[in-house]
Amino acid sequence: MKTRIGIFGYGNLGRGVESAVKHSSDLELAAVFTRRDPSTVKLRTEGVPVISADQLKDWKDRIDVLILCGGSATDLPEQTPACVKDFNVIDSFDTHARIPEHFANVDAAAKNGKHVGIISVGWDPGLFSLARVYSNAVLPSGKDYTFWGKGLSQGHSDAIRRIAGVKDARQYTIPVQEALDAVRSGSQPELSTRQKHTREAWVVAEDNADLSRIEHEIVTMKNYFDEYDTTVHFISEEELKQNHGSMGHAGFVFRSGTTGMNDEYSDIIEFSLKLDSNPEFTSSVLAAYARAAKRLYDEGRCGAFTVLDIPPAYLCEQSGDFLRGHLL
């Protein structure tokens, strides 16, 4: 019997879960829940109902795992604890600083409702966290490095859009090649924020806007741009749509460490991703962890979990025998 997946929220991430389910022969899409008028939501999978979020509870017995596809700023801090009372849930909560608080909230609600909630699933947090934890466990003496990009930063693009005179904008984060090379050399360099990444902004200004003021506001913006070298390009709305619609992203996690009685050997562990579509890939990770949620629940477990708490084999459709025989 297939694991019945519910999707809560049908944006880029929800659509990604829909295609991830299509790629998984052991998962089936049972329903999509939306806060919009369901008649306005058109799925790409035939025969799957779109249900108003108000009716979610009616589906308690028809969903094995509910994948929450809302945002981390306001949706998930409310939705995950609320939904985990009645469902096993997966979310992609990615506000690193607030993870401990979110974990505690989800854990209490999940234990109360005797369900499983796996939070902060995706690639960072998610697969990148796994790379950091495995490599720290193996090389206790060493340094961690994480680089993001080249890829669109939603938060930084939004920040630019809030500047007066800006009609639209896209912001890319780009790792500095010299910094990557220095890390790969094993020299364990100390790298400042400015040395690790550059930022590139593509901005559509309103007619008659003061471009030099906008550029100045961008490059000096506290917490967003002031610690980086940022290049600002003004382009037409048409050019933005044509050349900057890609959802691609990438990133690198390194552990540079030493072994030997006197730290005489040096090792580099590197994990990297190159993605055509950030939301589609993130959704694929969410779908894999849905398998784990079902399995933990079937074992009678409950509470909050992260990727760090879950045996890798639990993400797989295949049996332990198969995995040992073919992938170990």
For the segment 106-125, give every residue that binds its own copies (CB under 8 A): 120, 125
| Residue placing its CB nearer to its own copies in the complex, 234 or 314 | 314
List residues bridging with 116 in a β-sheet. 303
Residue with tokens 């998610």: 126
Compute the least distance from the CB of residue 49 to its own copies, in Å.
18
CB 187 within 8 A of CB 166: no
| Residue placing its CB nearer to its own copies in the complex, 234 or 297 | 297
Binding of its own copies by 313 (CB under 8 A): yes
- Please give the distance of CA 210 from its chain centroid, rounded to a whole number: 36
What is the C-alpha separation between 64 and 9, in angstroms, rounded?
Answer: 17
Residue from the set 3, 7, 68, 132 that interacts with its own copies by CB under 8 A: 132
Binding of its own copies by 96 (CB under 8 A): yes
Residue from the set 79, 88, 105, 306 that interacts with its own copies by CB under 8 A: 306
What is the C-alpha separation between 64 and 3, in angstroms, rounded?
Answer: 6
| Residue placing its CB nearer to its own copies in the complex, 20 or 232 | 20
CB 169 within 8 A of CB 203: yes
Compute the least distance from the CB of residue 235 to its own copies, in Å.
25
Residue from the set 73, 133, 164, 211 that interacts with its own copies by CB under 8 A: 133
The radius of gyration computed from the CA coordinates of the chain, to the nearest angstrom, equals 22
Binding of its own copies by 209 (CB under 8 A): no
> Which helix (H) or strand (E) covers residue 14, if one does?
helix 12-22
Find, among 59, 87, 67, 62, the residue nearest to 21 by Cα: 67
Span of 50-58, 174-182, 218-226, 277-285 interacting with its own copies by CB under 8 A: 277-285
Span of 76-84, 174-182, 213-221, 276-284 interacting with its own copies by CB under 8 A: 276-284
Binding of its own copies by 271 (CB under 8 A): yes
What is the C-alpha separation between 9 and 14, in angstroms, rounded?
Answer: 6
3-state helix, strand, coil in the chain (%, to 5): 40, 25, 35
Binding of its own copies by 145 (CB under 8 A): no
Binding of its own copies by 12 (CB under 8 A): no
Binding of its own copies by 180 (CB under 8 A): no
Binding of its own copies by 283 (CB under 8 A): yes
Residue from the set 78, 178, 227, 276 that interacts with its own copies by CB under 8 A: 276
Residue from the set 72, 114, 134, 163 that interacts with its own copies by CB under 8 A: 134
What is the C-alpha separation between 246 and 170, in angstroms, rounded?
Answer: 10
Residue from the set 4, 196, 199, 291 that interacts with its own copies by CB under 8 A: 291
> What is 296-316 written as a DSSP string?
HHHTT--EEE-GGGS-GGGG-
Residue from the set 22, 85, 161, 244 that interacts with its own copies by CB under 8 A: 22
| Residue placing its CB nearer to its own copies in the complex, 8 or 305 | 305
CB 68 within 8 A of CB 88: no
